[in-house]
Structure 1
Amino acid sequence: MAEERAEPQVADPQAIIVGIDGSRASRNALAFAIGEAQAMGRTIRLVGAYTIPSVAAATIDVSYVPIDDSAVRAAVTASLKEAAAEVRAAGVGVEAVIEIGDAAGVLVEESRQASLAVVGSRGRGGFAGRLLGTVSSALPAHSLAPTIVVPVSWSLDGQRRPEVSSSQPVRSARGADFEQGGDGETYPGLDFSGSVVVGIDALGKDSPALWAAAEIAVRRGTPLHIVGVITTTVVGPEWLPSASDMKRFVDEGADKIALAAAAVAQQHPELTVDWTLFDGQPAEVLVRASDTADILVIGSRGRGGFAGLLLGSTSQSVLPYAKCPTMVVRAKREG
């Protein structure tokens, strides 16, 4: 008879876990997590991980000298103690764990007993390098808790402004088409300051990301802004849409996003819900929304895998460039 795996003993199985490595990115992640812990009434579990280099010599005769990991462990411990002091100073309960192993795998395992996972987009040492980083790619793809990636450029008091976009806003909750400036190739970016922004796709009101974003907005007491994207770019003479075709595409996209907004408003009547439909590329629209949004929420229907770190094309394209904390919500796939 197979034995059931015992869960590790933790002080709070609903804690917010935060990957800590002493880098600026992990400090940003911690600052964000403290605010969420205060709002949610949760504690924080700090997680430090490190690997021990190994030496393999199958064809030569060498004497093996065990590697002393005390210096590495001491450095990780110092980072955790510093982070724990910051959490306690904010009046939030805290615990810390140190594990030997790949940081991504350690955090995924810790997410089994967590209400939220928060990680920085870049780090060093165990969380290191690689444009986005193994952890901030693998954790959203495999975490058993909702995951938020905090970019290294983000700060609580940072001043941000919208950048120009190559995607055009074409319809909004106000009902009228946009009539704003632009040279036909770029358009003024919209300002989403003070809002939680969520991107929805063909799932519409059934998108898990939509409802995760609504819960965040309710908890934070901020408006929710839903964005949807259609793509009407003409790529060749094989398809030249008529004016009536273009209007139909816009109407269908607007109807789907309006139904999603209405469903949220019915479920959360206290929440201010707005929406905008864009014509362009989904990843570009979401990255530009992150220029000013408080939090960006995106869905992913990609198939995760530690080999490929697949999150789905849109989320993979958004995470490396997002300017604000970004939650990835995985949609269950059929089959």
Structure 2
Amino acid sequence: MLTESEMNRNIVLLADPNKITRQKALQNLCNDLKSSLSINDNNDHLHPPSNIIESMLKIFSDPAEKNRDLALTYISMYVTKYCTDENNIDKILTLLMPAFVQRLGTNDIIEPSEEIRLNSISLLSELCRIYTNGNKLALYLNEWITILKRTIIDPYPEVRKLSCELTSKLSFKCHEKFHLMSENLIKPIIETMKHQHAKVRVEAINALGNVIRYGNNKSIEDSISPLAQRFFDHTSTVRLAVINVVGIWMLELRDRYSYFHMMLPLLLTGYTDEIEEIRETTDSLWWDVGLKYEKENEEDLKDQINFPNIPKKYPPTYLTVIDSYSFISTYNFFFQIQSVIFYRTCQLRSVKIAFSLKKY
């Protein structure tokens, strides 16, 4: 382990004009901190001076990729060692966020290394995880959004994927204030929903669901059409993600009843999917949505529940959901197909709920 004088000397050498000298100093500091990670008692290890993070952040603009990588590695280990709760992390976040905005949040890619960009997002994700107080995290909401709206469309697929995951975490943690800036993320997320990698598309769909769920619900108007296009996706996990997102919206969205007429056709489309898991998920969500609607509108539906007036005309028994879907091309699909769905399942209660939803 380094002594205090050795540590201070290595910190001074971080500003040396020679890149090899800087690299050796970085390596020494990283090795020292790495060895301390296995020590439970911090008293057995010399705590780095308070100015070391500022010195490391200056290396972020170092021309040598190896040096930038070592600086980021050191900061990541420092967070793991000394920032186990949010009380120890406030000062670090104050220093880190402007640096990451400069490296990751500009229109042009300042950081050329894909791995460094990925590790940077990993560090930001860890910082987001440590925070339990969303209000503290929201103090840097503008910086978070500036970074994410750029990294969500990063050329490197893994950066896109991890950025979408971070977006979901951030929207949940900062839900009280997230609506103020959530609309800035809609366009880049929709763009990433078309990415060639299925796993990236799935994370983008999940991120869109969370951004609208915890952010501005009005963004659903711009998102319904791109989501509907994902039903033509050849990967079943992507289609399942769409069903889950729409189902959660219909159950949890604050202004959900204002957008029921947009979401209902998407959810019901899941009944026609060739994958059994998607059909079963659709049926489960549809049932939960109906029960919640009935519970929240119990007074309005009291007469219909107690004195049902079930239409006598039903489609013939041989008419399946897939048959009916083939000749329905507009939103009237909901009104014509609902009888078929519930005729097949013989769920009288669901029929009553479904017909009460017609006004939406």
TM-score bucket of the superposed structures, by smaller chain: under 0.3
Which structure is higher in strand share?
1
Q: Which has the larger radius of gyration?
A: 2
TM-score by length of 1: 0.25
Which structure is higher in helix share?
2
